[in-house]
């Protein structure tokens, strides 16, 4: 069971809304910091442990500053994300570039920042040499093919566009070494939003065995293995959170069994969690604009799938609370919708909720990762503001809401007043 409790009282929320109209995402700084500390503690056994926060989950430099202060780095997969990391003061090997189909300017920026560059394909060695040069530390992304089961979000590894095959991997390390690269890591990411601790422990075993084989066959002692992101969160109240301590202990055991006897005992462990770090600590707050009763009962919000795409895109569940009615019986069944001209713009379908009235505030839970980040402008919808509930209880606007001027700013249309 995971409890869904919004950390702000109804009265305080109304004060906040006076300054910052809905819709907005709000993030709980204290909870994010506590969570990061818990993660670092779960891996304190490792000779070196790194968390490169997956910037794409919540690409806001204020959040990245929190990561930096807690000792985490950044996993970037685009030029903009590299700039965001730099803005937040994350530099050097605290940054890892894990991109795919990578353009030259990303490699160049990563090199300028002194980042670790993680290559998605063997052909990128030549491309990198030609277009940017080599970093001090390089990694390769392993796609285990049919050696491991994926899960439903990320799919079967064999069908995934990412990474190198096993044969290519050995060839790639040898090739990069022959070109003068001396420091290496190994990366994989095969699961997404996974709630079973065993999946991560099994991935670690597979990677550790591979690290040993790389040492035996090529004489290369890897500096780190990066087990990717993908730790899930309990979006549904009946689901349980992944026990980070159990994952840490399970990986520790595999490390003692596989890595230490092979003489690789300095191998660092890296993760690039996004969702599990900020996901549960972000909330989308909206106001009910309309109710509509036709063949079904609809509640229309001032937000839409441009603010939170996961329900429409994956049929994902996001828990909803009606502020001030948390203890009322859920004796109504609603479709909770946004205003986009797409019938799948529904935050919830046939959801049991208390009786809702126009003007009620609705809180959607678990929007702290892949929430605002996935926003878009289809149908002229504008992205919302992002707020930070700071540790002292005060509110900081960390991104203002988009305006029509923003929306039209890329048009050079004669006579436009924008």
Ligand X SMILES: *Cc1c(COP(=O)(O)O)cnc(C)c1O
Print the SS3 string covering 179-212.
CCCCEEEEECCCCCCECCHHHHHHHHHHHHHHHH
Return the H-helix or E-strand segment holding 362. strand 361-364
Which part of the chain contacts ligand X (CB under 6 A), choosing from 52-60, 120-128, 303-311, 312-320? 52-60
Q: If binding is defined by CB under 6 A, does position 192 make contact with ligand X? A: yes
Contact window for ligand X (CB under 6 A) among 172-180, 187-195, 212-220, 321-329? 187-195
Q: Where are the alpha helices (DSSP H) in 77-233?
A: 79-87, 104-113, 124-131, 166-178, 197-218
Out of 63, 128, 299, 369, the residue judged to bind ligand X by CB under 6 A: 369
Beta bridge partners of 54: 75
Q: Which residues pair with 181 in a beta bridge?
A: none
Q: Which of 82, 115, 164, 189 binds ligand X (CB under 6 A)?
A: 189
Is residue 54 a contact residue for ligand X (CB under 6 A)?
A: yes
What is the contact mask toward ligand X in residues 239 to 278, using x (rule: CB under 6 A)?
Answer: ---------------------------------xxxxx--
* Residues paired with residue 192 on neighbouring β-strands, in sequence order: none
Who contacts 180 (Cβ-Cβ below 8 Å, separation ≥6)?
Answer: 134
Among 61, 230, 234, 311, binds ligand X (CB under 6 A): 230
Measured CA distances, 274 to 41, 113, 348 (Å): 17, 21, 24
Question: Using an 8 Å Cβ cutoff, are 140 and 119 in contact?
Answer: yes
Catalytic site residue 341? yes
Closest distance between ligand X and the C-beta of residue 251, in Å?
16
Residues 314-353 contacting ligand X, CB under 6 A? none
CA 364, 291, 313: angle at the middle one, nearest 5? 45
Task: Find the binder of ligand X among 59, 135, 229, 248 (CB under 6 A).
Answer: 229
The residue from 22, 35, 60, 98 that contacts ligand X (CB under 6 A) is: 98
94 binds ligand X (CB under 6 A): no
Residue whose CB is less far from ligand X, 151 or 165: 151
Element (H, E) at 68: helix 61-69
Choose, by CB under 6 A, the member of 61, 135, 163, 228 that binds ligand X: 228
Q: Is residue 125 within the footprint of ligand X (CB under 6 A)? A: no
Q: Nearest CA to 284 among 54, 2, 22?
A: 22
Shortest separation between residue 233's beta carbon and ligand X, angstroms:
9
Residues engaged in binding ligand X (CB under 6 A): 54, 56-57, 75, 77, 98, 189, 192-193, 228-231, 272-276, 369
Catalytic residues: 341
């Amino acid at each position: 069971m995971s409890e869904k409790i919004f950390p702000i009282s109804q009265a305080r929320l109304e004060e906040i809304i006076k300054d910052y109209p809905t819709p907005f995402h709000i993030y709980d700084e204290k909870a994010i910091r506590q969570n990061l500390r818990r993660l670092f503690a779960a891996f304190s056994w490792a000779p070196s442990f790194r968390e490169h926060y997956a910037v794409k989950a919540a690409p806001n430099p204020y959040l990245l500053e929190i990561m930096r202060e807690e000792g985490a780095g950044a996993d970037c997969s685009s030029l903009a994300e590299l700039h965001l990391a730099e803005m937040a003061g994350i530099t050097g090997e605290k940054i890892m570039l894990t991109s795919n189909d990578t353009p030259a300017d990303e490699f160049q920026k990563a090199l300028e920042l002194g980042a670790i560059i993680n290559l998605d394909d063997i052909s990128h060695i030549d491309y990198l040499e030609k277009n940017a040069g080599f970093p001090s530390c390089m990694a390769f992304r392993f796609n285990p093919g049919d050696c491991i089961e994926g899960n439903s979000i990320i799919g079967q590894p064999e069908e995934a566009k990412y990474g190198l095959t096993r044969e290519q991997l050995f060839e790639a390390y040898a090739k990069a070494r022959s070109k003068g690269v001396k420091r290496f890591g190994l990366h994989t990411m095969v699961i997404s939003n996974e709630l079973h601790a065993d999946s991560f422990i099994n991935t670690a075993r597979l990677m550790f065995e591979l690290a040993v084989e790389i040492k035996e066959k090529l004489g290369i002692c890897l500096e780190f293995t990066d087990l990717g992101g993908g730790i899930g969160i309990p979006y549904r109240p009946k689901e349980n959170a992944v026990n980070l301590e159990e994952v840490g202990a399970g990986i520790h055991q595999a490390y003692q069994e596989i890595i230490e006897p092979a003489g690789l005992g300095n191998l660092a462990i890296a993760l690039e969690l996004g969702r599990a770090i900020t996901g549960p600590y972000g909330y989308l707050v909206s106001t009910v604009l309309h109710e509509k009763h036709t063949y079904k009962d609809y509640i229309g919000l001032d937000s839409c799938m441009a603010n939170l795409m996961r329900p429409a895109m994956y049929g994902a569940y996001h828990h909803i609370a009606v502020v001030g009615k948390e203890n009322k019986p859920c004796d109504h069944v609603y479709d909770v919708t946004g205003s986009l001209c797409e019938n799948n713009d529904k935050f919830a379908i046939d959801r049991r909720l208390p009786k809702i009235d126009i003007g009620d505030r609705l809180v959607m839970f678990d929007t702290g990762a892949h929430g605002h980040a996935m926003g878009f402008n289809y149908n002229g919808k504008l992205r919302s503001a992002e707020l930070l509930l700071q540790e002292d209880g005060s509110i900081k606007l960390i991104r203002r809401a988009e305006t029509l001027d923003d929306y039209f700013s890329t048009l050079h249309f004669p006579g436009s007043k924008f």
